[in-house]
Amino acid sequence: MLRKIDVIGFYDFVLTEDAGMLQPDSGTVEHKTINWLIPDFGIGSGGHLNIFRYIFLLEKKGYKNTICLVGNHRHASQNQARVLIAKHFFPLQADIVFGVENLPAASFSFATSWITAYALKGFGATLHKLYFVQDFEPAFYAYGSEYDFAEETYKFGFRGVCAGDWLAKMLEANYGMQCHSLGFSFDRNLYRQTPRRDPNIRRVFCYCRPPTPRRGLETALLALNLVGQRLPDVEFIFAGWDMGDYYFPHKHLNAGVLSLEELPVLYSQCDVGLVISFTNLSLLPLELMACGCVVVSNRGPNTEWLLNDSNSVLVESSPRAIADAIVRVLEDTRLRVELADRAKSFAYSTSWETECDRLVKILETLAE
């Protein structure tokens, strides 16, 4: 007999009642303590990379962090989870617990996804509830229940700490959240321009991830096909997913999923990197810039909080407009070199340490 789908059991967490917060004069909480409620992590997760990076930097500033895995996870023990974090992200001193019921009291507690926001709603042993928002998560779903469940978390009264101004302004305008924004940077120990192996070959890089519709795979393939028709000698490089099942009639490399260490060399071999974002940006544009690759992206407030006409090429999101922009950059050597130089300078003007200082200032202001 087939097992019935248990919608009620799977989504019962959305019925979590608000447990409130500790009072500032409770006297039961150490000052520099932070709880981070996260969903399970996998190798290569950009969202988790950002969270663990901030924890790593906050530890250097004297903050004691506790990481709580909310919901189902794949780890046999807390120590196993710690080893994986150290191997694939950052070596952290943070305590790791499974389940909100095992969280200690803390001065600050962060939700980091819409599901963990419900868990934080039901956690009362904290002075401040914050929401580390890296993207507009309702847009990950069709307009239905899950969209609504995710959107509802922006009404919980948490203070937002958002990846970029676009998210912060949108959440303030649409949901009345009090929000702060942090910027992006890149890993200087990893992303740097390396010599071109064959500088006479023009190449276009494209990040491809079919399960993530907001990255615009269909738009990208249509645009790149037009580029290939107009410039038959151009080579294309696809990475981020195995594209072996996708038809593309021009010379290309299906690089698939690569390690972080392989990416800088790959980016450095390319003249143009196509980065389409229909919600918030990822870290990819700055990483491409640091490797000397010109970024072409779609216009919109969700991209223009970081990208502009001085550090990248921004166009409307139609395939023809994108193709025209890529061809223009490939055919105009002077434009390409000038853009690449300006973009690299812009990337190097950013700093994760500076952004962490901004986060510390936010926390210190809340603690006053």
What the chain holds in terms of domains, given with CATH numbers, is 31-185+351-367 (3.40.50.11090), 203-348 (3.40.50.2000)
| Structure tokens given for 153 | 């978390």
Q: Which residues contact 112 (CB under 8 A, 6 or more apart)?
A: 36, 37, 38, 39, 47, 51, 131, 132, 134
Q: Which residues pair with 1 in a beta bridge?
A: none
Q: Which pLDDT does position 29 carry in this prediction?
A: 87
Alpha carbon 86 to its chain centroid, in Å, reads 19
- Average pLDDT over all residues of the chain: 95
Confidence grade of residue 244 (pLDDT, cut at 50, 70, 90): very high
The answer to whether the CB of 314 falls within 8 A of the CB of 307 is yes
Residue 126 clears pLDDT 70, i.e. is over it: yes
Residue 136 clears pLDDT 80, i.e. is over it: yes
Closest-CA residue to 310 (of 294, 326, 288, 324): 294
| Structure tokens given for 280 | 């918030």
* 247 vs 243: CA distance, rounded Å: 8
The answer to whether the CB of 219 falls within 8 A of the CB of 317 is yes
Confidence grade of residue 44 (pLDDT, cut at 50, 70, 90): confident
Q: Which residues pair with 296 in a beta bridge?
A: 274, 313
Q: Which pLDDT does position 1 carry in this prediction?
A: 63
Closest-CA residue to 270 (of 239, 240, 242): 239
Cα–Cα–Cα angle for 315, 316, 319, rounded to 5 degrees: 100
**Amino acid present at 155:** K
Q: Which pLDDT does position 46 carry in this prediction?
A: 80
Other Cβ atoms closer than 10 A to 109: 28
Residue 127 clears pLDDT 70, i.e. is over it: yes
Handedness of CA 221, 226, 229, 230 (dihedral sign): negative
Confidence grade of residue 23 (pLDDT, cut at 50, 70, 90): confident
What pLDDT, in 10s, does the model give residues 61-89?
A: 999 999 999 998 989 899 999 999 999 89
Confidence grade of residue 42 (pLDDT, cut at 50, 70, 90): confident
* 250 vs 143: CA distance, rounded Å: 36
Residue 113 clears pLDDT 80, i.e. is over it: yes
Q: Which pLDDT does position 25 carry in this prediction?
A: 73
What pLDDT, in 10s, does the model give residues 291-330?
A: 999 999 999 999 999 999 999 999 999 999 999 999 999 9
Residue 253 clears pLDDT 80, i.e. is over it: yes
Whole-angstrom CA distances from 155 to 151, 171, 220 are 8, 9, 35
Here the contacts of 149-157 (C-beta below 8 Å, separation 24 or greater) are 149/11, 149/14, 149/114, 150/114, 151/175, 152/14, 153/111, 153/114, 153/117, 153/118, 153/121, 156/18, 156/117, 156/120, 156/121, 156/129, 156/131, 157/129
| Structure tokens given for 219 | 């738009």
DSSP letter at 261 equals: G
Closest-CA residue to 319 (of 255, 256, 231, 227): 227
